[in-house]
Amino acid sequence: DQQVKQNSPSLSVQEGRISILNCDYTNSMFDYFLWYKKYPAEGPTFLISISSIKDKNEDGRFTVFLNKSAKHLSLHIVPSQPGDSAVYFCAASGGGADGLTFGKGTHLIIQP
């Protein structure tokens, strides 16, 4: 049973446009959500996070939106750049010293 779902295995976006990556979760105990960028054979790189007490967090080109009632979060990247091409993982935690539950990832491809 997947508690964190990323239903789009891949997403293609034109350079300069907005990339929107989606993530759904089922466990209502999750209260901390993170987005990571990952290249093959490398560890994940942290991008941005959001606590369940917020509905939006922004950091430069990255914005994460959280809709708790829908158990849905999204990562917006604007403007998209070629270097953004990678696999993006959504992850969730129940807080404290819990490990992360990851989605399966979305492969973002930025086209010139």
Tell me which residues touch another protein (CB under 8 A): 4, 32, 34, 36, 41-46, 49, 89, 91, 97-105
Distance, CA of 47 to CA of 17 (rounded, Å): 19
Cβ proximity to another protein: between 34 and 73 the closer is 34
Cβ proximity to another protein: between 71 and 107 the closer is 107
Distance, CA of 112 to CA of 101 (rounded, Å): 33
Rounded to the nearest whole angstrom, what is the least distance from the CB of residue 20 to another protein in the complex?
Answer: 20
H-helix or E-strand spanning residue 75? strand 72-77
Distance, CA of 110 to CA of 46 (rounded, Å): 19
Rounded to the nearest whole angstrom, what is the least distance from the CB of residue 43 to another protein in the complex?
Answer: 4
